[in-house]
Chain A
Amino acid sequence: MTEPGTLERGIASGLAFLRRRLAGDYEVDEFGYDPDFARTVLLPPARALYEHWFRVELSGVDNIPDGGALLVANHSGTIPIDALMLSVAVHDHADRRIRLLGADLVYQIPVLGHLARKGGHTLACKSDAARLLAKGELVGVFPEGFKGVGKPFADRYKLQRFGRGGFVGTALRAGVPIVPCAIVGAEEIYPKIGDIPPLARLLGLPYFPVTPTFPLLGPAGLIPLPSKWMIRFGEPMTLDEYDADSADDPMTVFNITDHVRENVQGMLYETLLRRGPAFL
Chain B
Amino acid sequence: MSSLPAAAARVVLVTGVSRFLGARVANTLQADPGIERVIGVDTVPPDTSHGVSLGRTEFVRVDIRTPSIANLIASAGVDTVVHLSLVTSSSVPRAKAKELNVIGTMQLLAACQRSPDTRKLVVRSSAAVYGSSPMDPAVFTERDEPVEAPRSGYAKDAGEIEGYVRGLTRRRSDLAVSVLRFANFLGPGVDSLVTRYLRLPVVPTVLGFDPRLQFVHEDDGVEVLRRMTVEDHPGCFNVAGDGVLLLSQALRRAGRPSVPVPSPSLSMLGDMGRRFAGLSGFSPELLRWLKYGRVIDTTALEDELSWRPKYSTEAAFADFTAAQGHGPLTALFGRTPR
Q: Which residues of A contact B (CB under 8 A)?
A: 19, 21-32, 34, 104, 107-111, 113-114, 117-118, 122-123, 125, 127-128, 131
Contact = CB atoms under 8 A, between A and B. Distances in A.
B61 interface: no
B252 interface: yes
Contact of A23 (B210, B245, B246, B335): B335
B139 interface: yes
Contact of B212 (A19, A26, A32, A127): A32
Nearest to A117: B212
Interface of chain B, helix or strand or loop or mixed?
loop
B207 interface: yes
B249 interface: yes
Interface of B: 134-139, 141, 144, 206-212, 243-246, 248-253, 292, 295, 332-335
A113 B209 contact: yes
B252 A131 contact: no
B245 to A, nearest CB: 7
A28 B212 contact: yes
A114 B209 contact: yes
8 contacts: A24-B250, A104-B134, A104-B135, A109-B208, A110-B208, A113-B208, A114-B209, A123-B134
Contact of B249 (A28, A107, A110, A123): A28
Contacts of B138: 30-32, 122-123, 127-128, 131
Contacts, number: 82
Given A23-B253, A34-B246, 12 more contacts: A22-B333, A23-B333, A24-B251, A24-B252, A29-B244, A30-B244, A32-B210, A32-B212, A107-B134, A109-B208, A113-B208, A114-B208
B209 A25 contact: no
Contact of B252 (A23, A32, A110, A114): A23
Nearest to A122: B138
Given A123-B135, A125-B137, A131-B139, A28 B252 contact: no
Nearest to B335: A23
Contacts of A113: 134, 208-209
A24 B332 CA distance: 13
Contact of A111 (B208, B253, B335): B208
Contacts of A128: 137-139
A23 B209 contact: no
A28 B244 contact: yes
A30 B294 CA distance: 10
Interface centre among A23, A31, A128, by most chain B C-beta atoms within 10 angstroms, is A23
Top 9 closest pairs, chain A to chain B, by CB: A110-B208, A24-B252, A23-B335, A24-B253, A107-B134, A22-B333, A114-B210, A24-B249, A111-B208
